[in-house]
Amino acid sequence: MTPAELKEFLDEKVIEFNNPKFIDSDPIQIPHQYSLKEDIEISGFLTATISWGNRKMIIKNAQRMTELMGNSPFDFVMSHNEQHLKNLEGFVHRTFNSLDFSYFIKALQHIYKNQAGLESIFEKYSTSHSTQNGIHELKKIFFEIPHLDRTKKHISDPLKGSAAKRINILTRSIKVAKIFHQP
């Protein structure tokens, strides 16, 4: 493919996917519901985590996750208690279950309290050409607190050979958050 053909192909894809009609059938609609940067990041992260399988089911379960958090992901992450986490019991999306969901809430709180959020990890450890190191560090930081071994499978590590497709979806959400919050 020549550079001109590649540009034409990519321009066609922008027209196809960069429009509101596409968002209606894409899991990216979940973080698009929010305007608070942290809500966008958290809902994007959770949606990316369960983004495998049928798109309709991904959207349905990602929406259910946000509803279980009172439609305020950041507030829920920062102020949850054990009773709030018990309310997550019964949630399942394929192999991601309520134990994983509860841990993710705790780990996200750890990140927001100690790392200033998901975006700051990517900004600190990624380069302008690659997010691989940022994803690797995110996984390390995410699992700094006590966790079940089973939960580790839900975050890939590109430095260990994974394409980390789902976590790269998160970077789309973070870019959305940045666009919403530009001065």
Looking at residue 183, its pLDDT comes to: 46
What radius of gyration do the chain's Cα atoms show? 17
What is the model's pLDDT at position 3? 86
Residue 167, pLDDT score: 75
Per-residue pLDDT tens over the stretch 23-61: 677 888 898 899 999 999 999 999 999 998 899 999 999
Higher-pLDDT residue of 127 and 84 is 84
Overall average pLDDT of the 86-97 stretch: 96
What is residue 152's predicted lDDT score, i.e. its pLDDT?
94
Q: How far apart are the first and last CA of the chain?
A: 39
Which DSSP state fits 144? S
* Chain centroid, CA 27 distance in Å: 10
Contacts of 124 (CB under 8 A, 6+ apart): 134, 137
pLDDT, one tens digit per residue, over 131-160 is 888 889 999 999 999 999 999 999 888 788
Question: What value does the mean pLDDT take over residues 8-27?
Answer: 75
Which pLDDT score is estimated for 39? 95
